[in-house]
A = this chain, B = another copy of it.
């Protein structure tokens, strides 16, 4: 399946479609949480993007089929917004053979070349410089592709972000740096990680177009993203910070003891899905009932992803040695084989 022949979920930016996509993201993330509770996930390092759906959906809506992107560890929503198959995603999160990466990558290492997903990354900032390289490829091939690096506010602590922004600006590459600022890096609130939280100012100081947008309104996010993605395509690389709030703990086991109730309630009140829903109803775009119907349909689709993932098989043990190197190369020699040879003399 390639980006070309697949309907990029976000690429239609009318509000109903944006709502639907955000709703699919949230419904999926809720099911990821359930997969964990049912002990069917591979590990507990599962980072839900609930509360920041507008960033994933709004920015993906501005991307074209030939565009590419990398994400951070909290990337489920971005990939779904790009048109991922939730079943294969859930299977990967369960560490199953049917997953996007055959159970080797898991939640933090999902990728799909068909959709231009150059990979999620478990290293904070680790996926950022790749878009500079993708930008060089686009320039070289003249294929008009933009490459977007999605990362969190915490990644602004990583020097490689600045090295990458400097290169993109210097070479005028078709690149967008998208910072999903959910206010927290694990237990550290952004103002405990930096003295100036107006992150776009740094990008401007390096010569990039830099903006910050409120993630509450997905239409505003989509609009800002379109401006910056189109600018990047025209050789004006950019930076977009989307302000939102991480509704739940950092990973499945974190109950956020480090922040208080009041702050959480305030943060969760900034719900882009509820906001879009209200606007559609008040604007007479869609009636409550119609929206409920959409939600029910989506929840049913997402319920199925759990059953699918649970039903899948673990990758075969021998697959462990596959894909360390290209298939045309010999696989690494198993330790057992080496021990056998050493002990063969006996």
The reply to whether A159 and B169 form a contact with Cβ atoms under 8 Å apart is no
Residues of B within 8 Å of A186, CB to CB, are none
Number of this chain's copies in the assembly equals 2
A280 within 8 A of B: no
Q: Which of B162, B169, B193, B198 contacts A196 (CB 8 A)?
A: B169
Chain A interface size, under 10 / 10 to 19 / 20 to 34 / 35 or more? 20 to 34
Question: What separation, in Å, do the CA atoms of A73 and B204 have in the docked complex?
Answer: 30
A198 (CB) vs chain B CBs: closest residue: B205
Q: Does A170 contact B (CB under 8 A)?
A: yes
Tell me, in angstroms, the Cα distance from A158 to B160 when the chains sit together: 8
Q: Verify if A163 is at the interface (C-beta below 8 Å from B).
A: yes
A163 and B159 in contact, given A195-B206, A205-B202 (Cβ under 8 angstroms)? yes
Residues of B within 8 A of A312 (CB): none
The A interface is mostly helix, strand or loop, or mixed, namely helix
Chain B: CB-nearest residue to A171: B195
A169 cross-chain contacts in B, Cβ below 8 A: 194-196
Report if A201 contacts B (CB, 8 A): yes
Report how far A192 CA is from B166 CA in the complex, Å. 11
- Please provide the chain A residues from 125 to 171 with a CB less than 8 Å away from any CB of chain B in the complex: 156-163, 166, 169-170
A and B contact pairs by CB, cutoff 8 A, 28 listed: A157-B166, A158-B163, A159-B159, A159-B160, A159-B163, A161-B162, A162-B202, A166-B194, A166-B195, A169-B194, A169-B195, A169-B196, A170-B192, A170-B194, A170-B195, A194-B207, A195-B206, A195-B207, A196-B205, A196-B206, A196-B207, A198-B205, A201-B204, A201-B205, A202-B202, A202-B205, A202-B206, A204-B205
Report which A residues bind B (CB closer than 8 A).
156-163, 166, 169-170, 172, 192-196, 198, 201-202, 204-207
